Amino acid sequence: MSDIKFGTDGWRGRIAEDYTFDNVRRATQGFATYLKNHDLSEKGVVIGYDQRFSSDLFAAAAAEVMAGNDIRVWLTNHNTPTPVISYSVTERRAGGAINITASHNPPADNGLKVRDPQGGAVPPEGLAEIEDAIPDIAQVKRLAFKEAEECGLVTRWDPDPAYIAHLGTLVDLPKLRNAGFKILVEPMWGNGAGWFPRLLSGGNNTLWEIHAERHPLFPEMQRPEPIRPNIDVALQRTVELGADVLLIMDGDADRMGIGDENGVYINQLQVYALLAYYLLEVRGLRGAIVKTISTTSMLNRLGKMYGVDVHETGVGFKYVAPKVLETNALIGGEESGGYAFRGNVPERDGILGNLYFLDFMLKTGQTPAQLLQTLFKKLGQTFYYDRIDTRFPAEKRPMAMARLDATKPETIGGVPVTGIVTLDGYKYELGEYGWLLIRFSGTEPIVRVYCEVTDPALVQPVLEGGLEVAGLK
């Protein structure tokens, strides 16, 4: 049994505690063995990294191990957004990818994501196989970086031009450059910095960026996660600048968020429903919707209205990506603000998602706040969402899960419980009023309590009731 465990989206750990150079090399060796066992090693791998502490050095260490296993490496020559790395797998026709990033985790963490030949998340059985193949450090094969470069096993290259050309096949970039928008971009000190000025400058837009430099401590936010309070500074700046929209990306730019023209956060469930509505109504496209158990029931209503299937999975793109491929889905996503789109790789893309949102504004002539009201009018219902995260030691999970297995509440927050779903965590259906979910994070020592309801007065009572059920108060 390996001491390195892959959660919902790869392996993450505390830098210098368990996330060390030796452990990165060990995890990379496990992935190298996996690639060989699946006849993918001859295709080579893409390796990229984010803006966190020493991510570039950890990426070089991973490249040395791949080279030591005689596997060719395309190593990005600069910090690179996760969606660019994922697309590069298909563009290079590689066997997979390694991405050195901890995404939205706190600044003390780093991580290692792995990707399959389609650029998507490796499914759960594949992650288990990689874990089983992780050896002791003495068994890791390694070739010094300089020697690996000299013999052609490691190539530094710029993945951006091919990805930008790809974006141009999905959205009309010249029209967006001349949309006349005032746009504030919040890349959260991460890999999305500089991308929107690069994509949308040269026309009649006005663009600003905030938190666009490299700063591994992520000041003015708790972590680079695109939710409040991390984005409060950007929301305030939106109002001060008179921006039409706030475009947000997390630390590795695979997740997104939106602030409206009034400096109000449009939550990630609302954004998912808006993007699905845009594809179905404005673009006139049809196809399945894939959603995790933790995201909005607005998608189910849209599915019925437009005659498309809606598939529900566990949390994490290791579940979403395979279902997206299986169903050729129009869109797939999760509560964290990560959405994948048909025509792109089966992976979250915060850059493309934000471009689609701008195109939604351009084609309808509506502001973000107006678009949300249009959606609610279409659905005939307004939906309200919130989430509470509580630190919870991993060693206490078995006892907590036993408690939840044994607890069958008749009401939560004064609302009758009409059903319990245990696909991933404990989801309590509240009939026409909505739902509440209690779930342990797969990447951090955290228990999350989420709810979506149709009455704003129920949000806090239902969340408080969830905390009671989970034994957290």
CA distance 418 to 334: 24
Q: Residue 248 burial (CB < 10 Å; 0-12/13-18/19+)?
A: buried
What pLDDT, on a 0 to 100 scale, did the predictor assign at position 158? 98
Q: Where are the domains of the chain?
A: 11-163, 168-264, 384-469
User: Which pLDDT belongs to residue 1?
Assistant: 56
Instruction: Give the span between the Cα atoms of 207 and 232, in whole angstroms.
Output: 19
- Of the candidate CATH numbers 1.20.1250.20, 3.30.70.1520, 3.20.20.70, 3.30.310.50, the domain formed by 384-469 belongs to 3.30.310.50
CA–CA separation, 393 and 390 (whole Å)? 10
Alpha helix locations (H) across 78-221? 82-92, 124-132, 145-150, 160-167, 173-177, 195-200
> H or E segment at 233?
helix 232-241
- Residue 226: asked if its preceding bond is cis (omega within 30°), the reply is no
Diameter of the chain measured on Cα atoms: 68
Q: Could you give the angle at the alpha carbon of 46 between the alpha carbons of 43 and 51, nearest 5°? A: 175
**Which residue is associated with the tokens 């019925």?**
304
Q: What is the CATH architecture of 168-264?
A: 3-Layer(aba) Sandwich (3.40)
Could you check whether 11-163 and 168-264 share the same CATH topology? yes
CATH 3.40.120.10 fits 11-163, yes or no: yes
Phi, psi angle pair for 101, to nearest 5°: -165, 150
Burial 170-180 (b: 16+ CB within 10 A, else e): bbebeebbebe
- Mean pLDDT, consecutive 10-residue stretches, the chain (473 aa), reads 81 95 98 98 98 97 98 98 98 98 95 96 93 96 98 98 98 98 98 98 96 97 96 98 98 98 98 98 98 97 98 93 96 96 97 98 98 98 95 89 93 97 96 96 87 97 95 85
Residue position matching structure tokens 């994509």: 199
